[in-house]
Amino acid sequence: MRNPITTVEKVVNSVTTGDVGSLLRTVGNVAQTIVAQKIEEKIADKIGISPTLLNAGLTGLSIIGNEVAGSRYTDNFQGTGQPGFNGVGNRGPIGAPFDAVDIVLGYQGLPTASTGDYINGSSYATSPTGYSGGVFDANYLVSTGNAVGGNTFAPPFGTVAPGGVNPTIGAYDLVNGGVLGVIPNPTAIINYKPCTAVHFFDGCYGN
């Protein structure tokens, strides 16, 4: 769960340092998670269970997904030697349903099993990179104070990067809404490199 004390500390720090951009991003990130949680509550109500129970089930599926298809977390993201989180499709067809589960958790600002792998690993408290669905993990870690900062690529549309996270969107990447991705992330870097593959890191953002 998001630690409200950490969020307040980030807001206070942004105000005292005059970092308006970081303040707005932190507030926007909180608002994004609240909206997603409200949607999840309505879904839970329709199927007759509590939101807490539904999210507990999703978390369980996320853990099973890591056991079955492997973790999206890696301590050598794209060969950089740095920690990071891969996105949707990285685990193949068998991992696709679990990727969807992680996305639902991520939009609500909740940790996934792969988030836990980072927290329990040797790279804890560093600056992870998140790509596509992995953006949620990086955003969560920074917003909760479990990472000192982060860089993200192709944040799924509607995702708001909290203060301390540097997002990059692809002008031709539909996952982040193309250039419209700057609407939820106005400080994002826009990468105009044509994608040579359908939403793969090397094809859209690699060297």
Span 42-93, pLDDT tens digits: 999 999 999 999 999 999 999 999 999 999 999 999 998 999 999 998 999 9
Span 121-180, pLDDT tens digits: 888 889 999 999 999 999 999 999 999 999 999 999 999 999 999 999 999 998 999 999
Round to whole Å and give the CA distance between 147 and 20. 21
